[in-house]
Structure 1
Amino acid sequence: MPTRIPYELPRFDGKSERPHVMGILNVTPDSFSDGGRNAVAGTALAHARQMIADGADIIDVGGESTRPGSEPVSLDLEWSRLVPVLDEVIAMGTPVSIDTYKAEIARRACAAGALIVNDVWGLQKDPAMADTVAEAGVHVVMMHNRTEADPEIDILADIDRFFEASMELAERAGIAKDKQILDPGFGFGKTIDQNFRILNRFETLAKHGLPLLAGASRKRMIGTVLNAEMEDRLYGSMAVHMTAMLKGAAIVRAHDVRPHADCARMLEATRLERNPT
């Protein structure tokens, strides 16, 4: 087992803690935003280094696109995409998250030194995931998801039920409470209106007593409002994420690290009423 780089979640008590920025590193050919761009190991590693230089607190590495409508890939194919980059990214010294819903991928990545499992199905897809996370002693992001959007449901009530089920699985497996993170899953099984309802009421998710992650980077909810293509959604992404941070997000997951890191630092300075450094 490699030496683990310590990672502590921000307390984010509204006074002193800076939200953390999770930089996205997709080593896939079909991710919705940057598919294929980092599929070559050298390019992926260079991008990881740049995100760290730009202020990333976490690097989130994924070997399978989890965008709605994407084709699932086999465990072997997913792992083959991760092998050329995972060890080297971990060795860079910034905490690494593994973006997967497969327990075996999570087990291998955590054995290599990953500190966070980012599960887009909130421990509810692979029956072995909760035990795998518990045995590894790592953090877990439990994201709300649906197989399809339903405009008729109360999306916040649906998220609450899903979170309670995920938290129960985590507790049953023995995952420490201080290692659990919740993500409402912008864009996953939700209508555009439901996404904005979640954002507008993001602070209500704090009732579950766990740190919150917001991940809306470059998503369709932004493109629809701004009538903007993927490459023109930076400012919209920052607006959504800044709103989420003001409403209690402890982590934002973003493609564009530098501007998000700057926003997080300015928010921290405002709360402290001084330069935090």
Structure 2
Amino acid sequence: MTYWRAIPSLDPARPTGARSLAGGWAWFDRVERLRRGEPSAIVPLEEVPDDVLDAMTAPRAPLAGLSLDEPRLMGILNTTPDSFSDGGQHAGQAEAVARALEMMAEGADLIDIGGESTRPGAAYVAPEEEISRTAPVIEALDSAGILVSLDTRKASVARAGLDAGASILNDVSGLRFDPELADVAAERHAPLILMHSLSTPETMQAEAAGAYRDVVLDVYDALQDAIAQARAAGVARDRIVVDPGIGFGKTQAQNLALIQRLSLFHSLGCAVLLGVSRKGFIGAIGDEPQADRRGPGSAGIGLWALGQGVQLLRVHDIQMHKQAIALWRASHGAS
């Protein structure tokens, strides 16, 4: 199988014949051709099959009414006692709602609510408990007119969240844990974020080292299969977002390999989300053991991702990312 990765640029000197990446701010006029067991090759656009070039270039549809023609920030809100960075800080409804309103005031475009920690080693949470943690907060935020995404891998929790007012479903298992979640998304016409991960949070990091032949291509194949599964259930492609799942069953080297070639995932024909905020590899590389002090490193990776055409960043530190993006946009001449 051949894989095609657009090589993006933001340079103001855009050559004649260059194409826009996913209808967005980056352009490309060359592609990296990847095949298993072979060296990669840089090739002109003329060598790319028409259907692949269409997938690379087509503008992405709005996400629950949110246009993707500029970078978007998804604020992280964990209503859990044990999430790796902010566990317990927003476990109560009042604290969670207050934090969501604060993030929106800082410039978040939507809020992603999770009631089950998916940090490495985290234990399973029963659906009833997960619903009790998330549904009241979703109802309050929906009443305030805030766009809400529900971070869950369970169909029953997804139904309850949509009933409470969530608009988007974010499945960190990429439909491996509960395939019926795709049916819920299809029935309710809800956008569906499909993230790549291994196994379960309890065991994923222990399995990472020997899990891949080529992590970039293996993750691409897994996301392609997840998209096919969602589409078979009735979810339209323009309602699907993909996420390579940085830190979910990957070593530091594997995380970096995915980050370096993020633009490959545009060839799936879906919007791309990246979630790296405050993760362990940022602490390791940036020499910061304290998770809540990893905002600058998170923003640094975020700007690289935007340069790769990624449309959505899932982050904790909204204000920091908002400022960084404003300067990034000004630097390459974006309006």
* TM value normalised by structure 1: 0.91
Higher Cα Rg, which structure: 2
Whole-angstrom distance in 1 between the partners of 2:64 and 2:124: 32
Instruction: State whether residues 226 and 236 of structure 1, in contact with CA within 8 Å, keep that contact through their aligned partners in structure 2.
Output: yes
Q: Which residue of 2 aligns with 1:263?
A: 324
SS state at 1:249 partner: coil
Equivalent positions of 1:75-90 (< 5 A) are 75-90=127-142
Q: CA deviation at 1:197?
A: 0.7
- Residues of 2 paired with 1:143 and 1:32: CA distance? 18
Instruction: Measure how far apart 1:113 and its partner are.
Output: 1.9
**Which secondary structure does the structure 1 equivalent of 2:140 belong to?**
helix
Gaps in structure 2 of 5+ consecutive residues: 1-62, 200-206
Distance apart, 1:245 and its partner CA: 0.9
Q: 1:114 and 1:269 mapped to 2: Cα distance?
A: 33
Q: Which is further off, 19-28 or 201-210?
A: 201-210
- Structure 1 segments unaligned to the other structure (5+ residues): 11-16
Equivalent in the alignment of 2:224: 164
CA separation in 2, counterparts of 1:212 and 1:6? Answer: 15
User: Which residue is 2:284 aligned to?
Assistant: 224
Give distance in 1, aligned partners of 2:135 and 2:148.
Answer: 14
Q: Which moved more, 1:223-232 or 1:243-252?
A: 223-232
Relative to the length of structure 2, the TM-score reads 0.76
CA displacement 1:127-166 (0-9 Å, x = unmatched): 2111110011111110000123125531112111211111
Between Structure 1 and Structure 2, how many residues are aligned?
264
Determine the structure 1 residue equivalent to 2:209. 150
Runs of 4+ in 1 over 6 A off after TM superposition: none
**Cα 1:202/1:23, change in 2 over 3 Å:** same
Q: Deviations over 1:187-214 (max 9, x none)?
A: 0000000001111111111111111001
1:112 to 160, 164, 180: 164
Contact 2:135 2:160 in 1 (8 A): no
Percent of matched pairs sharing the same residue: 39
Amino acid aligned to 1:203: S
SS for the counterpart of 1:199 is helix
Aligned counterparts of 1:107 and 1:257: Cα–Cα separation in 2 = 28
Q: Tell me if 1:188 matches 2:245.
A: no
Partner letter of residue 169 of structure 1?
Q
Aligned equivalents of 2:331, 2:71: Cα separation in 1: 13
Aligned partner of residue 8 in structure 1, secondary structure: coil
Q: Which secondary structure state, in structure 1, belongs to the residue aligned with residue 311 of structure 2?
A: strand
Q: Residues 156 and 37 (structure 1 numbering): CA distance in 2 closer, same or farther, change over 3 Å? A: same
Please tell me the residue identity of whatever aligns with 2:175: L
Task: Spell out, residue by residue over 1:28-69, the C-alpha distance to the aligned partner (whole angstroms, 9 max, x if none).
Answer: 000011000001111111100000001110100011101121
User: What is residue 254 of structure 1 aligned with on the other side?
Assistant: 315
Q: Which residue of 1 aligns with 2:6?
A: none
Please report the RMSD computed on the Cα atoms of aligned residues, expressed in angstroms: 1.6
**Alpha carbons of structure 1 residues 83 and 114: separation in structure 2 relative to 1, 3 Å:** closer
